Structure 1
Amino acid sequence: MMRYERTDLIIGTVEEGLQALVDGRHGDPFSILGRHQYGDLTVVRVLLPGALSVEVVERDTAKVVAELDSIHSGGLFAGVTNSTAPYFLRIEWPEAIQETEDSYSFPPLLGDLDLHLIGQGTHYDLGRTLGAIPMEVDGVSGVRFAVWAPNATRLSVVGDFNAWDGRRHPMRLLPQAGVWELFVPRLTHGERYKFEILDAHGNMLAQKADPIARASEAAPSTASVIASSKPFRWTDGDWMAAQAKDRAREGAMSVYEVHLGSWVRIAEEGNRTLDWVELSQRLVPYVKKLGFTHIEMLPIMEHPFGGSWGYQPLGLFAPTGRYGTPEDFAYFIDRCHAAGIGVILDWVPAHFPTDVWGLAQFDGTALYEHADPREGFHKDWNTLIYNLGRNEVKGFLIASALEWLDHFHIDALRVDAVASMLYRDYSREQGEWIPNKYGGRENLESVEFFKHLNSIIHERCPHAFTVAEESTAWPGVTESVEHGGLGFDFKWNMGWMHDTLHYMEEDPVYRKYQHGSLTFGMVYAYSERFMLPLSHDEVVHGKGSLFGKMPGDHWQKMANLRAYYGFMWGHPGKKLMFMGGEVAQVTEWNHDASVVWDLLDSPDHAGMQRLIADLNALYSAEPALQYGDLHPEGFEWAVSDDAENSVTAMLRLSQDRQSAIVVASNMTPVPRHGYRIGVPFEGRWEVVLNTDAAIYGGTNFGQTEAWTENQSAHGKTASIALDIPPLATVYLRWRG
């Protein structure tokens, strides 16, 4: 091969540029690296620090068409070739020979439309556009890396494949969207990677995980992992089609909320957690047996600190590596659907942690977060707040939501901490927050975000629904966007939960003074589409367990809790229970341990579990217990004002009024003999569930049926006389 002078090999460059490239400071590596034509001269340059020699080889003929000379001791090689055919590089390293195509021989791969949509914040398939995407380009397999970092001056992808050396694979800036891109040939899924970034001042930042990574290393490691692009073979087509038809969600919905890392741990194997396959084999049949319609998982998006339970996530596109691969996660969802169980994911667009390898100051500027801490920092959680005034950030979050609903077939997202997003002064003193443009406390950007989010979800994912954890009286949370609402399908009824738990914590002697706490929820029950939550938040941080909140000795605590569950399942609203509640766990939740399953050796705790299964079965079987969840004509108070006896009775009606159930609760330890309740239908009323039944751990007090008598009560011409057990709830079905 002919040797050329160094001046020929560096034609079209300047020494300062070459030095910047070798030093890892050059922002436009494609201007120097790769194959370039200068008149009749074709020059190939590569930067391979540590390489001994480099040859350019025609891909089709395997002919060596150039032997590259070292033109800088920092690893810059160059040579002249007469070939313009596609080529690969044969690189001699101290201990190996590597053959690979040249990343700098490929053109930009992201098209103008992609870049335009990214800049607009309306590219809703970012998980298949940015990040690490295995693909084939011109017959060459590899991975396209792309990341949004408009204020970086140089950005490289680093990983095991290049010894984490940021000089090896600097990326190309596509300035119209602030996106950096590079195709790395002969790379495949499973490889670890991060991004190495120089900020606008040339300072090297901590290596950053990929914001759009679809897989990550298991914590405490922090690297992103190239995920496979091979489609998962779903078998849930019938399930998905049925959910799309059931947009109104009129039927029974009973949700089992679970923290996967502490549902079951294997003590014999170092107290390890179950993986996705094991969860599909154990959790799914358990939830099915108890009759819950949905599993709700605390956030499984990748998060650095397990003690946050997932509520401080950094990988909004990646299922955590703690339980296995993304493919294993998809398998778990498929198994849930095969068992007829929907899956709800907790999703957190409210804030993110400050870890230096995450989103914080991603390109050296406040890119994802607000720059001003009065808008961009949560003092309560020491976390950063997304800047929803920025199109790219809104697009990032909406694309994350669609990733779970579309690509992973998730049935619903429960959006965490909605109240903290709606109010600019949330948990802030005067002077610590910035009013909106009208001088108010409402966060207008968040309002617009939620409307946009829910509209897009309902349009693109007809099988899916959304749930808001919103703890204030913000109007129209579940009203449609078209009618001025935020567009959620359901809202957690935090007021009902606080009021009724406050009531149940009272000694029964004093409950008559708090009677309104038990009944007040019906004053506003149909102002939103509500879900009644007994969630993880009520059994942590010193609050004790639900069992522990109940007054009295052990038997009374169990009876109180059974009566409360009976009241809850009879009350309008969808149901949610956190794991452990179904076995009346005595201690509060510990995220580093299992649910205390040994309690099931005790008949009364096993009875509590059976009660939950029977309540779910009755709820699912009875249209009268479902219709009034969302429609006021499906509910009446039969007895609401008997504070002195601490008795309530709810009348639940089906849409056609052919089915009716009375749910009577006695919240004192005094049995009520012959308690008269007015009913709208004459005939026989059959007791179909009694929380004081012996099978649940009770005393078996009460009757099996009641017949109407022509004695008026509570505004009805007919009534029944009922023996209501102490600390119990009884369900009676009208038999005609």
Structure 2
Amino acid sequence: MRSSEWLGTWSWDDGDWMRARPGRHGGEMPLAFYRLRALDWYLSRFALPMNWNRLAEELVPYVADLGFTHIVLDGALIGQPHSVVCQFIETCHIAGVGVVIVYSPLSSMTQPEFLAWCDRCHIDGYEEVIDHSGEGRGAECRLFLSKTTEPVLVLDPRVRWRLASADYLALSPAERCRQHAAWIAALTPRELSRGLLEQVPDDTTALGQWRLQVHGDDWQRFAAFRTCLALMWALPGDKQVAMGVELGQVLAEPWEAALHWPLLFESRHAGVLRLVADLNRLYVNEPALQVRGEDRLGFEWLVDDDSDNCVIVFARHAESGHASLVCVCNFQACVHYRYRLGVPSAGWWRETLNSDSVFYGGSNVGNGRGAMTEPIPSHGHAQSLAVTVPPMAALFLRHEIWFEDGS
């Protein structure tokens, strides 16, 4: 169907969103994308014919509650009646959620028609997928967001980091130690530059089956998954996850594409959902996590050579007046007690997130409220912390004021 056959008029009620959109898409606000296949998400909730109004009633509050700023939809919305499209977009915008549409050259619209349709329907951006190899694994995805009416390229997926992490976690603990340096190389300054979109090691073409390849038992697989989620949010770059990731879901067959909501009755799956929501809240509220990768002062390696313990530590710095954050990731299934790490500032470092928390399905090993620095030089800094690093987990430590009694 040609766009001219079904484009009509609509009385919009999303003025607040549209006025704020240039700032949101201009690098001033953190971005977190939730990818979904509209029909599959809908069928996981309703065994009824597709209804976009009903989808919006369920999907939009769900995405907003998890803290995502945008949804990335497959092309199912293309070709729908104009009123249906506009009602769906408006519902998203009123709730503070942007909409990005995946565009395929095989679409019923040419690209100029598609861009005109996006503009007319207040769609916030589009994604092109170009698979040069024909195998999917190395596909190039380019995501454009509109600042005003012209789409601007702002994001590319961090494919190298994603695939390297999946390969790294599939190794045995001994092999992981030997390959630790090679994995760290996937986190080079170039990879941390602006214009890259973080994505947890979840190949949507493989339906998230990478987690089945993680070495160890089911507990270790879930722990590794939570650690990768936390690491993704701690690194510079905007965030993206595909539907099902927030449930820790692994789909065995291509036709089992819908979300399996009963998983949330299991503590580990419910814990992943809580973790994603908490990570998004931290991302929005912590200026240090929002500093772009091209600002080298915003990212500092503290420990990048501990291959024996498979531990990495880095700091995220914000502008003056805002607290720094330190992220500690342990990729071994053992606890490291009194792990010494140098930090850039003296004082109290509060444990703001621990992926091993019982609330996320972990073993609840950690540092309580946090740790106080000691005047012991380490990793190039005059002050250091001695922390308990949980097994196969990530810690976020936030610098706060000095407490005389360490409380």
**Normalised by the size of structure 1, how large is the TM-score?**
0.50
1:258 aligns with 2:14: no
Q: Which residue is equivalent to 2:10?
A: 232
Q: Is the 8 A contact 1:637 1:649 kept in 2?
A: yes
Shift of 1:268: 7.2
Q: Which residue is equivalent to 2:374?
A: 709
Distance 1:549 1:650, change over 3 A: same
The structure whose residues are more often helix, as a share, is 2
Shift of 1:577: 0.4
Q: Is the 8 A contact 2:263 2:269 kept in 1?
A: yes
Distance 1:719 1:589, change over 3 A: farther
Q: Is the 8 A contact 1:265 1:593 kept in 2?
A: no
- Name the CA distance, whole Å, in 1 between partners of 2:16 and 2:253: 37
Q: Which residue is equivalent to 1:553?
A: 217
Q: Which residue is equivalent to 2:349?
A: 685
- Name the CA distance, whole Å, in 1 between partners of 2:18 and 2:192: 28
Q: Which residue is equivalent to 1:287?
A: 63
Shift of 1:732: 0.5
Could you give the per-residue CA deviations for residues 512-534 of structure 1, whole angstroms, max 9, x where no partner exists?
12213145223312455110124
Shift of 1:401: 1.8
Q: Secondary structure at the match of 1:587?
A: coil
Q: Secondary structure at the match of 2:27?
A: coil
Shift of 1:679: 0.9
Instruction: Find 1:638's aligned residue among 291, 294, 302.
Output: 302
Could you give the per-residue CA deviations for residues 330-377 of structure 1, whole angstroms, max 9, x where no partner exists?
11111111111111111124xx38xxxx79xxxxxxxxxxxxxxxxxx
Q: Which residue is equivalent to 1:408?
A: 121
Q: Which residue is equivalent to 2:52?
A: 276
Could you give the per-residue CA deviations for residues 679-726 of structure 1, whole angstroms, max 9, x where no partner exists?
111100000000000111111101121111111111111111110000
Instruction: Find 2:183's aligned residue among 514, 517, 523.
Output: 517
Q: What amino acid maps onto 1:341 in structure 2?
A: V
Q: What amino acid maps onto 1:606 in structure 2?
A: A
Could you give the per-residue CA deviations for residues 19-50 of structure 1, whole angstroms, max 9, x where no partner exists?
xxxxxxxxxxxxxxxxxxxxxxxxxxxxxxxx
Shift of 1:544: 5.0
Q: Which residue is equivalent to 1:338?
A: 94
- Name the CA distance, whole Å, in 1 between partners of 2:390 and 2:67: 26
Aligned-residue identity in percent: 31
Distance 1:251 1:213, change over 3 A: closer
Distance 1:268 1:563, change over 3 A: closer
Could you give the per-residue CA deviations for residues 631-667 of structure 1, whole angstroms, max 9, x where no partner exists?
2221011111111110001100112263200010000
Q: What amino acid maps onto 1:249 in structure 2?
A: G
Could you give the per-residue CA deviations for residues 106-155 of structure 1, whole angstroms, max 9, x where no partner exists?
xxxxxxxxxxxxxxxxxxxxxxxxxxxxxxxxxxxxxxxxxxxxxxxxxx
Could you give the per-residue CA deviations for residues 307-336 of structure 1, whole angstroms, max 9, x where no partner exists?
xxxxxxxxxxxx244xxx331121111111
Q: Is the 8 A contact 2:208 2:249 kept in 1?
A: no
Instruction: Find 1:530's aligned residue among 196, 205, 226.
Output: 196
Distance 1:514 1:275, change over 3 A: farther
- Name the CA distance, whole Å, in 2 between partners of 1:663 and 1:711: 20
Q: What amino acid maps onto 1:227 in structure 2?
A: W
Could you give the per-residue CA deviations for residues 43-66 of structure 1, whole angstroms, max 9, x where no partner exists?
xxxxxxxxxxxxxxxxxxxxxxxx
Distance 1:273 1:262, change over 3 A: farther
Distance 1:234 1:508, change over 3 A: farther
Q: Aligned-pair RMSD on alpha carbons?
A: 2.6
Q: Is the 8 A contact 1:509 1:668 kept in 2?
A: no
Q: Secondary structure at the match of 1:566?
A: helix
Q: How does 1:467-486 map to 2 (within 5 A)?
A: none
How many correspondences in the alignment?
393
- Name the CA distance, whole Å, in 1 between partners of 2:244 and 2:44: 17
Q: Which residue is equivalent to 2:138?
A: none
1:732 aligns with 2:405: no
Shift of 1:547: 3.3
- Name the CA distance, whole Å, in 2 between partners of 1:252 and 1:501: 26
1:572 aligns with 2:236: yes
Distance 1:519 1:252, change over 3 A: farther
Instruction: Tell me which stretches of 4 or more aligned residues in structure 1 moved more than 3 Å.
Output: 266-269, 463-466, 588-593
1:241 aligns with 2:25: no
Q: Is the 8 A contact 1:257 1:535 kept in 2?
A: no
Shift of 1:600: 0.5
- Name the CA distance, whole Å, in 2 between partners of 1:559 and 1:535: 14
Q: What amino acid maps onto 2:196 in structure 1?
A: F
Distance 1:320 1:695, change over 3 A: same
Q: What amino acid maps onto 1:259 in structure 2?
A: R
Q: Secondary structure at the match of 1:617?
A: helix
Q: Is the 8 A contact 2:200 2:228 kept in 1?
A: no
Structure with more contact order per residue of length (Cα contacts < 8 Å, sep ≥ 6): 2
Instruction: Find 2:361's aligned residue among 674, 693, 697.
Output: 697
**Normalised by the size of structure 2, how large is the TM-score?**
0.89
Shift of 1:628: 3.6
Larger displacement relative to structure 2 (586-595 or 628-637): 586-595
Q: Which residue is equivalent to 1:365?
A: none
Distance 1:266 1:656, change over 3 A: closer
- Name the CA distance, whole Å, in 2 between partners of 1:495 and 1:563: 18
Q: Is the 8 A contact 1:256 1:578 kept in 2?
A: yes
Q: Which residue is equivalent to 2:405?
A: none
Q: Secondary structure at the match of 1:523?
A: coil
Q: What amino acid maps onto 1:722 in structure 2?
A: V
Gaps of 5+ in 2: 136-141, 402-407
1:618 aligns with 2:311: no
- Name the CA distance, whole Å, in 2 between partners of 1:266 and 1:664: 36
- Name the CA distance, whole Å, in 1 between partners of 2:240 and 2:215: 23
Shift of 1:501: 1.7
Q: Secondary structure at the match of 1:232?
A: coil
Gaps of 5+ in 1: 1-209, 215-225, 302-318, 360-395, 421-425, 429-449, 467-487
1:328 aligns with 2:78: no
- Name the CA distance, whole Å, in 2 between partners of 1:266 and 1:235: 30
Structure with larger Rg: 1
Q: What amino acid maps onto 2:389 in structure 1?
A: I
- Name the CA distance, whole Å, in 2 between partners of 1:659 and 1:589: 45
Distance 1:505 1:251, change over 3 A: farther
Q: Which residue is equivalent to 2:74?
A: 298
Q: Which residue is equivalent to 2:404?
A: none
